[in-house]
Amino acid sequence: MWINMQIFSFTLNKQDEVMEVFPIDKKTEQLFKEVSRRIFRLQNGRSLDSMERIGADTRGQIGASYLSLKNLAGQYQPDLKLAQLLWGTKKREEQIVACFLFPIQELITEKITQLLQHCYNFEIAEYFGTLVLSKRENVEQMVNEYLNSDRPHLQVAALTAIGRSRINRKLNSPFTDSYILNIDRNKFTDMNVQKVYDRISIYLRE
């Protein structure tokens, strides 16, 4: 049986480096390569193919839409190892697809924290909060922890999880109007986090 050992590196703080090693079987590796190729083809669509045919370097071309990536992910079953491989590329499109493929309840809290520290950008943190964090059984506990952290990506994920929870669960959401209004906006030092907070609270402040 063919087995490869895939290594991931997560920085928990400035002093500590945590290496995660887990076996990747041939089927998972093939799936990863297949999804990666399909993502590549989605980037700029036909224009990308045309550029390749005339010998242009297309390695820097990005821009697959969220909807096209969602449709792509919908053709695969949730798969933790595949999702981790995609996330580990630290590329926008791959991380969006990974958000759809994570088996949500299988992820332990520590793993989610590690993943969020390696978001490609704030856009990905928002998708993670919407697609993963908001669906967790312990979402309220994790949101409270992340809001009180000093890590902008964690804070953004927490805020978008609040917004999605209120949409999905409506009156049953633990995140009431007063919960949101009692969040201290001034503790968010990053402007990106402040903008997300303003977005989810704007109608409550009118």
Considering the domain architecture, whether residues 94 and 152 belong to the same structural domain is answered as no
pLDDT of the residue at 21: 60
pLDDT of the residue at 31: 96
pLDDT of the residue at 113: 95
Q: Which of 54, 81, 102 is the last residue of a domain?
A: 102
Q: Which domain holds residue 157?
A: 107-206
Triad 86, 138, 68: Cα angle to 5° = 35
Q: Which of 57, 77, 102 is the last residue of a domain?
A: 102
What are the tokens at 112?
């989610």
pLDDT of the residue at 16: 42
β partners of residue 9: 19
Considering the domain architecture, whether residues 141 and 188 belong to the same structural domain is answered as yes
The one-letter code for the residue type at 24 is I
How many structural domains comprise the chain?
2
Instruction: Judge contact between 82 and 31, C-beta under 8 A.
Output: yes
Considering the domain architecture, whether residues 90 and 111 belong to the same structural domain is answered as no
pTM of the full structure: 0.82
pLDDT of the residue at 49: 52
pLDDT of the residue at 45: 64
pLDDT of the residue at 62: 52
Considering the domain architecture, whether residues 94 and 112 belong to the same structural domain is answered as no
- Smallest CA-to-CA distance from 124 within 85, 152, 105 is with 152
pLDDT of the residue at 203: 74
Q: What is the pLDDT along the chain (206 residues), one digit of tens a residue?
A: 444 545 444 333 344 444 466 678 899 999 999 999 999 999 866 545 554 555 554 455 457 899 999 999 999 999 999 999 999 999 999 999 999 999 998 999 999 999 999 999 999 999 999 999 999 999 999 999 999 999 999 999 999 999 999 999 988 999 999 999 999 999 999 999 999 999 999 877 54
Considering the domain architecture, whether residues 79 and 174 belong to the same structural domain is answered as no
